[in-house]
Each structure stands twice: as structure tokens, then as C-alpha cells.
A and B are shown apart, each in its own frame.
Chain A
């Protein structure tokens, strides 16, 4: 007798067909190469000891910035380096600035550009603080965080006259430029990690908190004093004023702050702040439009995981992955924790969808993060750079490794992601002790590269060499908004879909993405409608723009460059 088959009987066939489809997709679309060697971007980034770290200071690593420092139209690359304990002054490396001499040609020019500065550098954020048309930098340090003023392609250390502290020891971590009071000048938010003094810091294994899964490891952050975040208001004369107290930044109390970014999460036109905090609740400062902020991370659902457990937040990606018009947050966390994927429901509340979205499949120790539409299918994919905190983990046979792959998750468009790291090849899957991650177009083809800063190893520079669908890259010049146009919100309609993104400073982990927005357009040859909301609120609409080119928009200007 023949039995009637249910569709479930065909499940294995469906799975096999899906796998084949994924493989076919991978073969057709995914082709990535690490071009760091070919492009002469191979310095080993110095940060602490290689094999066994004595202090937590040696573990947090650094970031990178992709920006055009000399306005020659090509993106350059700044890479931060730290130091080594007990290193002689001569042995401490400086920042690295690679001038882009044309596609695939880079030349290190930090000293001649005024950035031959050494120390325990941490994070970088970029923005034009004096609206002179040249992009300035904030670089956080363990020690004194610095502002480098860009004077027509040459940087000067502006810190002593900037209003920022020029002495003492603080552990600056993530930073972000943002015009929080909408006065046309970029203000500066600095997260701080630990109140930490190398002279008095406990040695590995010397405190209960300095042991992890039976390993004597460096102490911290737990057991060490937390630090406070700082907001500096730009007074418009290249000077800054610490407004942390009156702006409400200090109210939630100290945290172990790491990654930081600014974005308008509730679509009210005013930038909010988000700080990924290590082992303490992360912070969402909602802008009250009157120079103050209210912290509502716990209430909004972005402070902890979906069950109220504290995570070790590191890096941040911001993007509208579900195309509902509100910016979502991805946050990287410690190993054994899921990366967070906070879906912004309505600007007020978020839902941690990391598990149903499929991100639980890997629970690595994450740092840099970015949403980027790798296959130009109009859905932002997710990139997460990873690497363990403790090099000692390799000796412990705990099922974890110090070097870990960078994960690439493809956005399936239904709220779910699929891990395509292996199919993406060794540029992603080769394990490294990665930290910062920045995206930006380095070879002038309009398609962003991915720069990953690896600790005590050469950089990874991933070039997407797969076949291309349609795309568009958008750049902005603000006036009267801040010249860098940081905070510009773009809504793009094409091919029956709407995409939303915002130009941001800081973010990822200690890094600065190129100050441009990149959208995949799939098969759409034209943008039906592009809505630009400039930082000061002016709205501009453009229709019928062609695909596959870079546009530069000027505030108050027309739609065609």
C-alpha cells in the first residue's frame, strides 16, 4: 500500500538543495583576497607582549581609520600601535599613516605628516572639528588622549590648547565625534575603560579576579576601578569644554567602557550615544535636545542580553539590517556569549534577536564589527572580527584559541543571518588575534575594503573580488552643518526596497570607517528616491540618480555633483 508523504519527508532533500544553493551562491559571489602584502600594508602591529601578557593594558589592542587626510581624493589609512612593557623609548613604535599613492600603492608617512607619535594608542575617530575642510583626528591613549589638528595635510598635536587634559593618566577607549547640540561644530565623546595605574596594578594570578578557567591571567577589568565617560563640547574656536556632568553623562556612574559611537536611534534628528561596556551594563544616552542626555540602556533593552545577563561588550556596528527605518545595533562580546543583535523596534525599544537571527552558532570573542552589504543585494551583512583576550588560552586546551576567524554573516532578509565565513575563504577564516576593523574604499573602485588590525601580526586588508551587482557610494560636505557631515541620515529607495544609513564617527572597535555611505542596489540601475537629512535638519531629496558611481553632495547644493 502506498503511504501518503508529508512535506516533512522531503526535509533532507530541502536541506541538501539549500546547501547546494548556498555553495553555488558562494562560488558565484564570494571571492575575497587579503591584499595587505600586495599593497605593502604589512607592518606587524605592536601591542603588548606576544605570548603572555602581564597586564590588561596589553590586551585591548587598537583600531584603524580610513580617511582622506590630504584631500587628494584618495582614502589613506591610519593604523594605531601600542607599546611594550619596559620598552626603551626608541623601541616604542609610532602611529602609522599610509598615504594612498593610487590603487594598491601605499607609502608610510606618519612622521612627515606630524603623526610620528608613540605611546599606548587605543582608538581613533575622525571629523573636521574646525570646519576648515581637512579631517582632524582624536586618538585615545592610555595616558593622555590627543587631538590632532589637520593643517592642510599636516597634523599638529592640538591637545595642549584644546581644553582636553594634557597630563595625568587615563585609559581612553572608544571615541566619537558628534554634533550633539546641533551648533554646526563637532563635539567629542570619549569612553574610558579602567582607572588603571601600571605602577600599582596587580600581577597575574595575584587576585581572585586574575584567574580564568584555571589559568593565571592578567588582572582586570573585574576587580579594578571602573572609569567615567567624558563629553567635550566644541566651543567653535578649536577649544573644547568638559560638559560631562551637566550633560548627564556621569549620571549612570562609572563603567568599563570600550567601543563608542553616536547615531540617531530614535529618528528625532538628534544624535544619541551608545557605549559597549565590558562586564558592566552597556549605555544608551538618549539626546534630550537641550544639551543633556538621559541614559536608558536597561529600559530600552540594549544594556544586557535578552535575559538580563551582563556581557563583555567590546565593539559596535550600527545599521538598519531589517529595513524598518530605525538603526539597529550589533555588539561584540566575550567568548561563550552570543554577539548581541539589538533590533530597533520603534526608536524607543530594542529586541535582542541574536539567537533567533542565527548568531549563536559562533560564540567567539569579538571586537571590530560592521554592517556592510558585501554582495550588493540591498541587505546589510555583518562582519565580526575576533580574537581571544588571553594568549595563554592556547596552552590550556579549553577548546578555545587565541587566534580566531573573522566571521562573515550573510543577511537573508528575513531577520536571519547565515554564517558564510568558510565559503568566504582564508581572508576571513584564517585565525588571527584581531581587534579593530574599519571599512572604506582604498582602491577607488567604489567598493569598500575591510581593514582588520591584528595584535602583534600584520594587518589584514580584505578586498572583495566577487562579481558585482549595482551599487552607489555617497559622500557629503556639510555647511552650515559640520563640514564632515557626521550625523547625516540617508534613506534610499531603489528596486522596491528602502535602505537607511547614517554617517558616523567612531564605532566598530576603536576604529573609523570611511566617512561615506555605501549601498548595494542589486539589479536596480537607478535610485528612485534619495532623502538626505543633514545634521542640522535640512532635508534634501534626489530622484533618478544612476547606479555604480560615487556622488558627493554638498549641503544646500543640488542633486548632481
Chain B
């Protein structure tokens, strides 16, 4: 063991163990539900990134509790029942109760994910901070915390939370940051070496990207495609790059590959339609414009549906 490492270990405080006296205080997370779920079941997280992001990061929906505490288990069951019955506001109260009675990572995560899904990241953060004090290595809690920072526009803190998660979900979180805050992309390039796709993303979204960055990104994406030929994301990013470079033929090929791997890739159809339109292939353009329109309309309808299912904890 080297001296610096030994020194660093000595400096690291021992992880704090939860104690009986470390009673969770979720008072900051208490809320007034100012919108009646019954009359306003369609209140939504308009503009919120939470719902798609939760799916992207594979944060699990609440599952049956295995808590040894019967009251906590009953509260948790009731919360799930209420959520399924379309009463998420009441469900939130029971999730919080379950987490107070038994602050296990699963209970805390369920309460927080429920809040995130319904557009209440600040309140979710209170649960998550508490959960992480006792379970600092829990990747799910860390991811959810990153998402709650992200939803509040705190991209630097979200970045740190996602970087602390070693699995692929952390990378997806970082991809969110790269898209929403391109100014942070350059600072992520080196830390994304383990994932050529994400590193390419950071290179391409970095403000002031130059020819060298584009060349690096291209070779990284080609490497991804070589290993995973049906990576529609890599094909699509490559197509974006080629389009920016006015290389229509390779852009077309990349988009066709993206669509072959994912026929419902709305954006790929849109871009391909434009390439055909520019080259006078109007019939082919029409086919892809039609596909784009169909997929676009169906996505909007799905989003609207999702919005209507969600209520919000509204700040006034």
C-alpha cells in the first residue's frame, strides 16, 4: 500500500451507522397537497424530466415491502394501493409514514421515487439525503438524488451524484447532464473513458467542439458500432455528426442503420426525411416524414396520457 493511499484512508471518516436515536425527520418533506387528486387527477409534471428520467435510470417502481415492522409494511402496502387507485397524494403520505417507521433503503427510495415521479424533487431530496446518511453506498438512492438535483437545475451536484454511481445507470444520468448543461460536458470527457458512447456524447455536446473532437467522437462511435452493431443511439449520434459535417451519404447510411435497429426512432425518421428532401428524393422523404409525424403524434399522446396520470405537489 502506498503512503498517499494509506494517508487517504486514515483521513476518511468511518461511515456513520444509523442508530436508534437517528430518527428520520421528514418534516421538511411534509407537504400540503393543494390540488385535490380527485378533481385534478390530470395535474401534471409539465416540463418535468422526472418520469422519463426515472425509466431511463431504471429506478424501480415501489414493490411489496419486506420490512420486519408490520406497521411499516401495512403503510407501504396502503401507499401502493392508493397509488394504483390514482390517489398519489394520499399515497405519498403513506410512503412517508412507512419510511419513518422503517427507514430502510427500499422504503426511502420508494417514497423518494414516488415524489420524483410526481414532480416534487425538493421533497424527494429530503428522503434521499437521509437515506444516504445511513446507506452511503446505495446506488439507487444516489441515482435518485442525482435526479432530484437535476430536476432542480443543480447540474453540478447532479453530476457528482451520477459520477458516484459506477454502473451504466450513472452514465445515463451523465448523459442527461450533457444534454441539459453542455457547459459541463468538457469536464466529463475524461471520466467517461469507460463508455465510448458517452464520451463521444460529451465531445460532441461540448461548446466549441473542434475538428479534433469530432474525429475522436466519430472513432469512438464507430468502435461502439463495431462491438454492438444494433446500437441505434450510436448510429444516430454518428448521423448527427455527419449531417453537421454536410456528409449526406454517410449520414443517410447511419440513419438507415438507426432505423433498422429501432424502427420507432422518431428523430432518425425526421432527419432522414430531410436528407431525402434535400437530394430531391421526395417520395422517400414523404415516407419518413409520415413515419415521423405518426411517431411524433403518438409520443405526444403518450406524454399527455402520462401527464394526466400524474399529480403534482404544487408550490404556491
Contacts and interface: CB of A to CB of B under 8 A. Distances in A.
Interface of A: 8, 205, 208-209, 211-216, 222, 298-299, 301, 304, 306-309, 336, 345, 349, 351, 353, 355-356, 358, 360-363, 392, 395-400, 416, 418-419
A375 B96 CA distance: 58
A266 to B, nearest CB: 14
Contacts of A356: 209, 244
B152 A308 contact: no
The main secondary structure of chain A at its interface with chain B is loop
B138 interface: no
Given A349-B278, A397-B122, A208 B207 contact: no
A214 B119 contact: yes
Contact of A213 (B48, B212, B243, B246): B48
B270 A308 contact: yes
Nearest to A399: B153
B94 interface: no
Nearest to A356: B244
Contacts of B155: 399
B314 A301 contact: no
Given A214-B314, A298-B289, A358-B208, A308 B267 contact: yes
B152 A397 contact: yes
B267 A216 contact: no
Given A307-B270, A336-B47, A399-B152, 11 more contacts: A209-B46, A211-B45, A212-B46, A216-B314, A308-B270, A351-B246, A356-B244, A392-B315, A399-B153, A399-B155, A416-B208
B46 A213 contact: yes
A208 to B, nearest CB: 4
Given A355-B205, A396-B315, A398-B153, A211 B271 contact: no
B225 to A, nearest CB: 20
Given A308-B270, A349-B278, A356-B244, A205 B316 contact: yes
B153 A395 contact: no
4 smallest CB-CB distances across A and B, nearest first, come from A399-B153, A308-B270, A361-B207, A307-B267
A299 B288 CA distance: 12
B46 A306 contact: no
Contacts of B46: 208-209, 211-213, 222
A212 B45 CA distance: 6
Contacts of A360: 182, 205, 207
B120 A358 contact: no
B243 A351 contact: yes
B312 interface: yes
A56 to B, nearest CB: 14
A423 to B, nearest CB: 15
Contacts of A306: 240, 243, 271
Interface string B200-232: 000001011100100000000000000000000
B238 interface: no
Contacts of A308: 266-267, 269-271, 292, 296
Contacts of B244: 351, 353, 355-356
Interface string B273-316: 01001100000000001001000100000000001100011111
B203 to A, nearest CB: 12
A307 B208 contact: no
A153 B96 CA distance: 69
Contacts of B307: 208
A301 B315 CA distance: 38
B253 interface: no
A242 B284 CA distance: 38
Given A398-B152, A416-B208, A361 B313 contact: no
Contacts of B151: 213, 398
A301 B207 contact: no
Contacts of A299: 277
A309 B246 CA distance: 21
A342 B312 CA distance: 36
B42 A208 contact: yes
Interface of B: 34-35, 40, 42-48, 119-122, 151-155, 180, 182-183, 205, 207-209, 212, 240, 243-244, 246, 266-267, 269-271, 274, 277-278, 289, 292, 296, 307-308, 312-316
A213 B183 contact: no
Contact of B180 (A298, A336, A395, A419): A336
A402 to B, nearest CB: 13
Contacts of B243: 306, 351
B312 A211 contact: yes
Contacts of A307: 267, 270-271
Contacts of A397: 122, 152
A411 to B, nearest CB: 13
25 contacts: A205-B34, A208-B308, A211-B43, A211-B312, A213-B46, A213-B119, A214-B45, A214-B119, A214-B120, A215-B314, A215-B315, A216-B34, A307-B270, A308-B267, A308-B269, A308-B270, A308-B271, A356-B244, A360-B207, A361-B182, A361-B183, A392-B315, A395-B315, A396-B315, A398-B151
A358 B207 contact: yes
Contacts of A416: 208
A214 B315 contact: yes
Interface centre among B35, B269, B289, B315, by most chain A C-beta atoms within 10 angstroms, is B315
Contacts of A399: 152-155
A301 B270 CA distance: 10
A218 to B, nearest CB: 12
Contacts of B122: 397
Nearest to B179: A360
A355 B244 CA distance: 9
Interface centre among A211, A298, A392, by most chain B C-beta atoms within 10 angstroms, is A211
Contacts of B183: 361-362
Contacts of B292: 308
Nearest to A18: B208
B235 to A, nearest CB: 14
Nearest to A398: B153
A222 B120 CA distance: 22
A356 B274 CA distance: 18
Contacts of A345: 278
A209 B277 CA distance: 35
B43 A208 contact: yes
Given A308-B296, A399-B153, A213 B45 contact: yes
B154 to A, nearest CB: 6
Nearest to B210: A416
A395 B119 CA distance: 16
Contact of B315 (A216, A298, A418): A216
Given A358-B207, A395-B315, A213 B267 contact: no
Contacts of A209: 44, 46
Contacts of A418: 208
A88 B46 CA distance: 35
B296 to A, nearest CB: 6
Contacts of A361: 182-183, 207
A214 B267 contact: no
B175 to A, nearest CB: 14
A306 B271 CA distance: 7
Contact of A214 (B153, B182, B313): B313
A208 B274 CA distance: 34
Nearest to A307: B267
B48 A214 contact: yes
Nearest to A400: B153
A178 to B, nearest CB: 27
B47 A213 contact: yes
A301 B274 contact: yes
Contacts of B119: 211, 213-214
B187 to A, nearest CB: 13
A418 B183 CA distance: 12
A136 B34 CA distance: 51
A396 B316 CA distance: 9
Nearest to A299: B277
Nearest to B180: A336
Contacts of B44: 208-209, 211
